[in-house]
Amino acid sequence: MAAEPTTNPSKLPHLPTEVLLDVFTAGLTHPDACALSLLCPDWALCSHNHANTTPPTPNQTKLLALQALLRTTRVDTYTLPAEGEAHGKVTTSFDHASNPNTEHLWLPQMDDPRSQPDVPTEWIRAELTRRWVSGSGTVVVSLPRLVSHYMLSPQRKEERLLPYEEDTVTVDTQQGKVTRVTGRDGWEKEGPVGEVEEGGELRYWYQRLRGLVVTREWLRGDGAVPQGWRTVEGRDVLANLKVRWEEMGRLEVLCLDLRRGGGPEPEYMRNLELARLAQSLKGRGLALLVIAGLRSDASYPGGEASGVAEVEDGRWDARRRVWRKGSDERGDDINWWKTFGEAVRPGGRLVFVDKRDGGELSLLQPDARHTTTTMLFGL
């Protein structure tokens, strides 16, 4: 019987550093997963994830087949026109989870090297982290999200990873360069220890990120305010997305859970926040943008496939800074395809994932509490 592979340094021979790095990387790396299996696990959109080791039960298989038959779950993919093309291409799938011929959105996965106890030196840990954020794997972190009357405050290591609007940025006024970025907790953002990039600017991990998945999951609990949360007054205003996207210049893939978080937020307030988010992403040049829950529940488009005309036609509303459906002045509905499409590069893909029922989450139920998780990955 073959011996189990190990990344424990005490069980490894004395190897060159580069070889050790490759051994640890291999031990932390998992098979690719479909983005839809990571984005909304509770929706069971896709089972192609290394964490899903059990096949669906017969009842689950029947349920997926029924959902496909009734067309209650849809995945719409808009491939933007490449340079020189007049129009893009739109495809609609109602059976992503049950169709064996589904075209998956494969993403690589790797465990967080920062939390591994067997890494022998901090230099090796930093190099593994560099690989992790630069394209080798997946990270799970908690981001602040305003949920009814509770906000999840991220743990320190999570607060230090991404650039938020509330960060303190220190600038050398003589040279006009950023010298330090600290979070709300007062700690500096994480990056290669002691490394200064060419040109003299500090390089943080978030400046190397290739992809980011923001999702939400249920945790079992008694409904009490979890440790680390702080009470606030307000609604679910997508606070977890107040990220300084412009600081992540290498970002190519972004997946967002924009399902309603419950609470009394009026539709116009939600649309204002979504428009603000879309504007903050404009011009990012993403290769892939996946959004879940934007058109779910009452906004569900129904059982008809989307067409290129409804995706690409629209008029610009300068006051609201969104695209409206249709070319006439009477069109009132927002064209989210064109509004969020401005974040995607020519030839890139914009994917909307929605359910007719289940887009709204009831938060802080008696037997559950709700947190926000984020998965970062590289291409």
* 9 lies in some domain: no
Please answer whether residues 64 and 94 qualify as being in contact, where contact means their C-beta atoms are separated by less than 8 angstroms. no
Bridge partners of 344, per DSSP, are 286
At residue 341, φ and ψ (nearest 5 deg) are: -65, -20
Q: Quick one: tokens of 183?
A: 């979070």
Q: Which residues of the chain have pLDDT under 70?
A: 1-13, 48-56, 60, 136-159, 193-202, 216-241, 261-266, 327-332, 358-379
What pLDDT does 348 receive? Answer: 97
What pLDDT does 232 receive? Answer: 42
* 194 lies in some domain: no
- What domain count does the chain have? 1
What pLDDT does 151 receive? Answer: 44
* 172 lies in some domain: no
* 363 lies in some domain: yes
Residue 196: count other Cβ atoms within 10 Å of its Cβ: 11
Residue 71: count other Cβ atoms within 10 Å of its Cβ: 16
* 212 lies in some domain: yes
- In this structure, are strands 344-355 and 106-110 parallel, antiparallel, or unpaired? unpaired
- Residue ranges making up the domain that contains 47: 24-151+207-298+306-377
**What is the residue whose two structure tokens read 């139920």?**
365
Distance CA 350, CA 79 (A): 6
What pLDDT does 279 receive? Answer: 93
* 224 lies in some domain: yes
Q: Which helix (H) or strand (E) holds 326?
A: none
What pLDDT does 252 receive? Answer: 92
Q: Quick one: tokens of 220?
A: 């079992």
* 195 lies in some domain: no
What pLDDT does 221 receive? Answer: 38
DSSP state of 3: P
User: What pTM does this model have?
Assistant: 0.81
* Nearest CA-CA partner of 213 in 300, 126, 143: 143
* 17 lies in some domain: no
Greatest alpha-carbon span in the chain: 73
